[in-house]
Amino acid sequence: MYVGQWFRQLEDLKHAVKVWHIKNHVTFKAKRCAKDTWVLCCPAERCQWKLRASERKNLKVWEIRMIKGPHTCVMTTISQDHNKMNLKLVGKSILAMVEENEQLTTPSFITFVRQKFGYTITYRKAWLEKQWVLEQVYDNWEESYNILPKYLQALQLFVPDTIVRIQTIPVLDESNQPITNYVIFHRLFWSFKACIDEFASCKPIV
C-alpha cells in the first residue's frame, strides 16, 4: 500500500488493506468511518501506524491520502488464524478458482490459503468458504429452486407441447408433521414434443 493509491470502491480498498495486514501478520481497527472518509489505526497502544483514505468524488475513486508507520507491533510468532481473515475475504480470493473448477476439494482451499496468506485454516472454515463462493457463482439453493417453476413455465411457453412433471416432498418439523407452505424439491422430468414424437419410431428393446 502507498499514498496516492486508488481504488474504484470502498470495498476494494478494505479488501486490499485486510490482505496486506494478513500477509504482514499485523492488524488494525477503524478509528473513523464516515461517508467519504476512512481512518484506521493500530490497536496496539505503542504502535503509531495510521492510514487515512477519502473519496475523490470528481474521479469516483477512493484514494489513500496518508500512511503513518510502519507497524512496530509485528508478531514474533505466526498463529494459525487472523482476526481479519473472514469468509468473505478469503472467498473473494478463491472465487476465480471455483469459477474455473467447481469440483475443487476442501483440502485444496486449505493449501491455497496457506500459500497465499501464510495461515493454515481449519477444514470447517475452508468448507464454509467454498459454500460461500458457490453461492456467489450460482446463488443459494433456495433461490435456485424457487426459480425452477418459472423456468419450466417459460419452457412450456416457448417450446409448446413440452411435458413437465415436478415432484416435491413435504418439510417435516421435529414431530414429523408437515410444515404448511414449505416443500423440498425431489425430482423433475421433462420431455420436448420432438422427443415424444420420435419415441414412437424407436426400436423396442428389453
pLDDT tens digit string along 101-140? 777 788 888 888 888 777 787 888 888 877 888 887 777 7
3-state secondary structure 113-125: HHHHHCCCCCHHH
25: left (phi over 0), alpha (psi -120 to 50) or beta: left
* 26-53: average pLDDT: 88
Q: Is the pLDDT of residue 186 over 70?
A: yes
pTM of the model: 0.53
Considering the chain, what percentage of its residues have pLDDT values greater than 90? Answer: 25
pLDDT, greater one: 159 or 104:
159
Separation CA 87–CA 169 (nearest Å)? 32
Question: CB–CB of 84/93 below 8 Å?
Answer: no
Average pLDDT over the chain reads 84
Closest CA to 125 of 105, 109, 149: 109
> Residue 61 — very low, low, confident or very high, per pLDDT cuts 50/70/90?
very high
> Residue 77 — very low, low, confident or very high, per pLDDT cuts 50/70/90?
very low
Separation CA 142–CA 124 (nearest Å)? 22
Number of Cβ atoms within 10 Å of the Cβ of 170: 14
Give me Rg for the CA atoms of the chain.
26
Q: In the chain, where are the structural domains located?
A: 6-68, 87-138, 141-199
Question: CB–CB of 71/95 below 8 Å?
Answer: no
Number of Cβ atoms within 10 Å of the Cβ of 191: 13
* 167-189: average pLDDT: 88
Separation CA 156–CA 121 (nearest Å)? 47
* 22-28: average pLDDT: 85
Q: pLDDT at position 99, please? A: 75
- 49-58, 67-76, 141-150: least confidently modelled range: 67-76
pLDDT, greater one: 200 or 77:
200
Question: Max CA-CA distance within the chain?
Answer: 84
pLDDT, greater one: 85 or 177:
177
